[in-house]
Structure 1
């Protein structure tokens, strides 16, 4: 591990294998960093209602998740897009230092001083802005430096890492809530120790352009933020500001000499059709944990620790399917894998909706089915969308994927979370229940409907999405021996 990706890239063509090996070494460290950083996000997703009650702001508790999620979407986009322009080492330094500062601030402000909703939110926003750097850099490295047959493997490992961190985060949140939820802030602080190793491995060279279009980044980031804020606060003026900013952005990229993203990017109809899959399949991404946590308390008289002991198995299932998704895609192809994953997700939601009043063990089984679909979905969907773009736009593709995925999910949690304590959907349901049980059942059926729309979209447009790829390019080759050789640092 003494060489760097930079050195491998500068060598002759026969050293392409060396480039892949150096990339793998960096990806392993980035994945560990990502897992530790994501623990916080999943832990707070599970217990934000409990924290809201503890700080005396139960009606605003969803902001603990929704506002950091907005930040997450924006920094995902910025980090990924900057991968085409600036040194990845600089991104890592900024991200991990910000994560460390946010972790210490959140713990100290809420443990040693008066607990406050906004110190929690500010700390979570700082942590979120920092923790995502490892995820975005991971995806940029995997997209730019790995050969095609390895990409789907490492995309699968990435979502497996996410689900593993979710499982540990759920368990840790349940445990620490019974002690002091403030300790959740400290979990990702340890990632600072990985900084020297990542600085040694990551490439230092800039992207093809020496110009960083900060004006374009700011306009687009603000527009995305106001879009998410509208769904959190339901203030129409925010939607108006969002629309105005997107119009300004459209004018800007048509007039600017060297914008970070050109109008041609948004005229790529294959990419537009592909990105809609992420919009629809990931709209409910943050909703399952809070829905099950709320159901456990309202219908089964369970505390958050008890709920976490059940729901953690769903994340473990997701991690297993994420880890094996590369192999599965290699065997059946991306199209069948996307269809199968969406069917798992729908069955999980529908099954849960029909069994709300049975027992929590059965609900957990259906949660496992849903998360099996989530674990399987990420690798084929992300590789499908990124393959609609040329390699020199892969960083911006990664950034746009992450932006859409996280802003969509933050809108979803704002919409669904607002209904958890409401009675709008409590009048009746397919299972004959009323009140809270009807609310949960109807929410789960609505979530299934959103996934169904994603499947319908894919069936209608999949030929357009894959247009232009040869049959060989569309086929992901399963080469386990080659993968093992690349993963072996001794060879």
Structure 2
């Protein structure tokens, strides 16, 4: 006979299983369309600057939504928000599939998908804290992290195979699989009391406007978009300094180590995302590979290596320290970019190896940035600070994808600056790889300098 305790434990385990399903699909939705960006650009006769908005649109609402759901969870409860996110995500998928022949409808669908999928990373972690006993949370977070890494890994392979053998539009239907969790979560999740609270909608609108217009600037390079973006951010900063319970705590801006960790981490994450979005274009233009070959042969080994490198990075931080692991990560990324830049015309398998080390360096860097940022925060700042780090990380990835698409479209770097043993089509990609290496090295130098100064002042 089951005791009340065993029944409760069984229900919590069932909740956790469905949360794992949502965690896997949230990242899969982010990665699965990446290898199809050249095909989408070709189908709609669009430049990469426009085609990359298929991913940028998703990441934009995904990043903002992550912060929103986290703020709202205390007021509205997990159950309502999680079910809302699942339904919105599925609704966006259906709109995208039905209207995939119309580019504006496709972009709108990706906006909607991101707004729904944002509920998964934001609320799953909160749900684990509320439903999983403290002694089992470490295993729970570890399993979710592994599933997220697996979603990142298999996403390009699945995306490449479906796009090549069927059509990329069917990738939009994958998130509808999360709808199967709805009846179980409705039954298993507890009803929560609604807590009254204030919500800074003005701050969200101002910040969102600044982000959108900046991304539009990186796509079209129209000065008017940049001016509007700067004005929106200036008004936003003024607003959060005066309002009660602002969307972003202005006190965090006084923490130099925190701000530098967030900004430099954002630059590195954005650069890596820009590189990943560029790889399909590069492999098609330079090596004329199929979408399936790019997803399975070029991208898949690198994205799966995140699981191994993430574990190694965590061990090294404890044993060797943050700066040691950060330096290794930056060396792996920058040297990989430089080797790819000089040998871009070499055999495609070389790019497979390079992507493995780029993702390895990125795993090391993410581990260190999280450690540095969390260590710079006081206990009362931890929640707001880590939430801002997650928001910035997701947003920087969308920004990196947008900027990479803009650079590929205006072809400002399409000059032979290096002794590259390849035809003219490789020059642009080679020069962009040099730019990527310079950005991550600069970010490393700033982070190390600020970190050492903060340690001397302690």
Q: Is residue 437 of structure 2 the alignment partner of residue 451 of structure 1?
A: no
Out of 262, 278, 301, which is 1:275 matched to? 262
The 3 A distance-change label for structure 1 pair 142 and 287 is: farther
Query: Is the Cα contact below 8 Å between 1:171 and 1:308 reproduced in 2?
Result: yes
Q: For residues 206 and 81 of structure 2, what CA distance do their matches in structure 1 show? A: 20
Counterpart in the other structure of 2:292: 305
The 3 A distance-change label for structure 1 pair 385 and 195 is: farther
Query: Is the Cα contact below 8 Å between 1:81 and 1:396 reproduced in 2?
Result: no
Counterpart in the other structure of 1:485: none
Counterpart in the other structure of 1:400: 388
Counterpart in the other structure of 1:441: 430
Q: Is residue 292 of structure 2 the alignment partner of residue 292 of structure 1?
A: no
The 5-angstrom pairing of residues 464-483 of structure 1 reads none
Offset of residue 185 of structure 1: 1.0
The 3 A distance-change label for structure 1 pair 35 and 465 is: farther
The 5-angstrom pairing of residues 29-178 of structure 1 reads 29-58=18-47, 60-83=50-73, 86-110=76-100, 115-140=101-126, 160-178=146-164
Offset of residue 125 of structure 1: 1.3
Q: For residues 35 and 116 of structure 1, what CA distance do their matches in structure 2 show? A: 29
The superposition leaves residues 373-401 of structure 1 with CA deviations (integer Å, 9 ceiling, x where unpaired) of 12233233224323433455444334322
The 3 A distance-change label for structure 1 pair 168 and 257 is: closer
Q: For residues 105 and 315 of structure 2, what CA distance do their matches in structure 1 show? A: 44
Offset of residue 440 of structure 1: 1.4
Q: For residues 264 and 131 of structure 2, what CA distance do their matches in structure 1 show? A: 25
Out of 191, 194, 197, which is 1:210 matched to? 197
The superposition leaves residues 13-69 of structure 1 with CA deviations (integer Å, 9 ceiling, x where unpaired) of xxxxx9xx9999866643431221222321222212211222343463122222322
Q: For residues 148 and 326 of structure 1, what CA distance do their matches in structure 2 show? A: 21
Moved more, 349-358 or 153-162: 153-162
Query: Is the Cα contact below 8 Å between 1:339 and 1:455 reproduced in 2?
Result: yes
The superposition leaves residues 237-276 of structure 1 with CA deviations (integer Å, 9 ceiling, x where unpaired) of 2222222222322332233244344432322323212212
Q: For residues 216 and 225 of structure 2, what CA distance do their matches in structure 1 show? A: 7
CA RMSD of aligned residues (A): 3.5
**Matched pairs, number:** 450
Offset of residue 204 of structure 1: 3.8
- Partner SS, residue 426 of structure 1: coil
Q: For residues 55 and 2 of structure 1, what CA distance do their matches in structure 2 show? A: 60
Query: Is the Cα contact below 8 Å between 1:85 and 1:212 reproduced in 2?
Result: no
Query: Is the Cα contact below 8 Å between 1:77 and 1:396 reproduced in 2?
Result: no
- Partner SS, residue 271 of structure 2: coil
The 3 A distance-change label for structure 1 pair 151 and 284 is: farther
Counterpart in the other structure of 2:415: 427
Offset of residue 159 of structure 1: 5.7
Counterpart in the other structure of 1:15: none
Q: For residues 121 and 454 of structure 2, what CA distance do their matches in structure 1 show? A: 25
The superposition leaves residues 266-310 of structure 1 with CA deviations (integer Å, 9 ceiling, x where unpaired) of 223232122123222112132233322122212222111111122
Query: Is the Cα contact below 8 Å between 1:52 and 1:61 reproduced in 2?
Result: yes
Counterpart in the other structure of 1:11: none
Counterpart in the other structure of 1:226: 213
Q: For residues 400 and 424 of structure 1, what CA distance do their matches in structure 2 show? A: 33
- Partner SS, residue 363 of structure 1: helix
- Partner SS, residue 83 of structure 2: helix
- Partner SS, residue 356 of structure 1: coil
Q: For residues 4 and 272 of structure 2, what CA distance do their matches in structure 1 show? A: 38
Out of 331, 336, 344, which is 1:348 matched to? 336
Moved more, 96-105 or 189-198: 189-198
Q: Is residue 181 of structure 2 the alignment partner of residue 191 of structure 1?
A: no
The 3 A distance-change label for structure 1 pair 274 and 427 is: closer
The superposition leaves residues 309-357 of structure 1 with CA deviations (integer Å, 9 ceiling, x where unpaired) of 2221111111222245434433434332222222222222122222211
Q: Is residue 410 of structure 2 the alignment partner of residue 410 of structure 1?
A: no
Counterpart in the other structure of 1:473: none
Q: For residues 150 and 268 of structure 1, what CA distance do their matches in structure 2 show? A: 33
Offset of residue 187 of structure 1: 1.1
Q: For residues 203 and 226 of structure 2, what CA distance do their matches in structure 1 show? A: 19
Q: For residues 111 and 22 of structure 2, what CA distance do their matches in structure 1 show? A: 18
Q: For residues 42 and 180 of structure 2, what CA distance do their matches in structure 1 show? A: 34
Q: TM-score, normalised by structure 1?
A: 0.80
Offset of residue 205 of structure 1: 5.9
Q: For residues 278 and 245 of structure 1, what CA distance do their matches in structure 2 show? A: 23
Q: TM-score, normalised by structure 2?
A: 0.85
Q: For residues 135 and 326 of structure 2, what CA distance do their matches in structure 1 show? A: 18
